[in-house]
Amino acid sequence: MTTRESIALWIHPSSRRNEVVGLRDDAVVIRLTAPPVEGAANESFRRFVAERLCVAPSRVTLVRGQSSRRKWIAVEGFSVDEVRCALLELSAPQ
């Protein structure tokens, strides 16, 4: 997979709660409670995205950015636009 097939995320670890905040440039901003230690935040955001999309975490692949706050993921069976829309739609105020 290339970054063209993946969606950019901006991760804020060690936050007060897990939530999608919105967009920053072209990246979806996600706050996570997990600390950025020994891959905990990476695993946490994979589970968070999978839960939001109602898929198994194994379908969420970290393509790039293992040790960075800016990450690129691909979700098996979903286009970039579908992932972005699903994450942002669920974060919209009701």
| pLDDT tens digit sequence for 31-85 | 999 999 988 999 999 999 999 999 999 999 999 999 999 999 999 999 999 999 9
pLDDT tens column, 21-46: 999 988 999 999 999 998 899 999 99
Which residues on adjacent β-strands are paired with residue 64? 72
pLDDT greater than 90 at residue 93 = no
State the pTM of this model. Answer: 0.85
Which residues on adjacent β-strands are paired with residue 71? 9
The answer regarding whether domain 3-91 maps to CATH 3.30.1200.10 reads: yes
Answer yes or no: are the C-beta atoms of 7 and 84 closer than 8 Å.
yes
Answer yes or no: are the C-beta atoms of 35 and 18 closer than 8 Å.
no
**Structure-block tokens of residue 82:** 């579908």
